[in-house]
């Protein structure tokens, strides 16, 4: 009996000390910022374990729809947030467009490629190889890129030269390795790399606003730790400083 009581006490203590897990599904472009924010939050809340899952917003939304355990979804566009709202996995009233980003053209540092964001500029002849960006039908960065290329009347002249990647960080890696002469990524991705340079910025009126909405999933709404972490990401001065450090703008 005595041994049984000791076992019950030890089991209870283990439960008390076990960290609560918060799973955050976040766009690949948020990798550095969310990772830094998670470290700070875990230091302040040692009983909470933040587990980020990074990837293309499209792929993450599909995983969540398929039943993947998730507490928060942080998308790189409004479309994929709305997708989960329509699936009734996220409450429309709980979604907040938290961040803004910019769309830029990059190249390896050793190349000198001209760029003018004007329809009369012959973009296709300004570089020799391929252009990398996210898959244009699903990955947010690729969708924004397609909008800009259409607006500038450049898309048709690039037929057969566009490489669509699984997420925006993959597009960045292709350019870093020199496998693509140019890439269309977010400003925040370009800033973290020492191997690429920004050639130019696409006009804001050439694509939809690059908004990053954040929301709790239905599962996350039941997780007290997830609710607290979401508040920290949305409103803490520490999180704001980190987002701005990586080049994001705060959506007022």
Q: Is 249 annotated as a binding-site member?
A: no
Report residue 246: phi and psi, to 5°: -90, 5
141 is in an annotated binding site: yes
| Angle formed by the axes of helices 140-151 and 78-86, nearest 10° | 130
- 206 belongs to an annotated ligand binding site: no
Instruction: Quote the tokens at residue 178.
Output: 């020199």
d(CA 162, CA 48) in angstroms, rounded, equals: 43
Using the structure block, give the residue that is written with the tokens 């979804």: 73
Q: Which residue blocks in 118-186 are alpha helix, DSSP H?
A: 140-151, 168-176
168 is in an annotated binding site: yes
- Give the number of other CB atoms < 10 A from CB of residue 115: 18
Taking the C-alpha atoms of residue 26 and residue 37, their distance in angstroms, rounded to an integer, is: 12
- Is 144 annotated in a binding site? The answer is no
Q: Exposed/middle/buried for 7, CB within 10 Å: 0-12, 13-18, 19+?
A: exposed
Annotated binding site: which residue ranges?
A: 29, 57, 141, 168, 186
Annotated binding site for molybdate: which residue ranges?
A: 29, 57, 141, 168, 186
């Amino acid at each position: 009996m005595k041994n049984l009581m000791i076992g019950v006490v030890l089991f209870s203590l283990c439960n008390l000390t076990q960290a609560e897990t918060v799973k955050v599904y976040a766009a690949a472009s948020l990798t550095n910022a969310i990772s830094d924010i998670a470290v700070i939050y875990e230091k302040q809340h040692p009983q909470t374990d933040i587990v980020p899952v990074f990837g293309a917003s499209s792929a993450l939304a599909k995983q969540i729809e398929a039943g993947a355990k998730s507490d928060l979804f942080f998308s790189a566009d409004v479309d994929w947030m709305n997708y989960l709202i329509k699936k009734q996995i996220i409450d429309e009233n709980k979604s907040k467009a938290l961040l803004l980003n910019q769309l830029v053209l990059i190249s390896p540092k050793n190349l000198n490629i001209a760029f003018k964001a004007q329809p009369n500029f012959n973009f296709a002849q300004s570089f020799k190889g391929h252009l990398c960006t996210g898959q244009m039908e699903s990955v947010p960065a690729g969708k924004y890129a397609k909008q800009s290329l259409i607006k500038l009347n450049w898309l048709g002249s690039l037929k057969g030269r566009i490489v669509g990647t699984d997420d925006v960080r993959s597009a960045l890696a292709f350019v870093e390795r020199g496998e693509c002469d140019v890439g269309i990524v977010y400003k925040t991705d370009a800033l973290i790399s020492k191997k690429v340079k920004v050639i130019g910025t696409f006009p804001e009126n050439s694509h939809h606003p690059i908004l990053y909405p954040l929301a709790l999933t239905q599962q996350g709404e039941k997780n007290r730790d997830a609710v607290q972490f979401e508040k920290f990401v949305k409103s803490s001065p520490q999180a704001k400083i980190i987002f701005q450090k990586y080049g994001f703008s705060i959506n007022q």
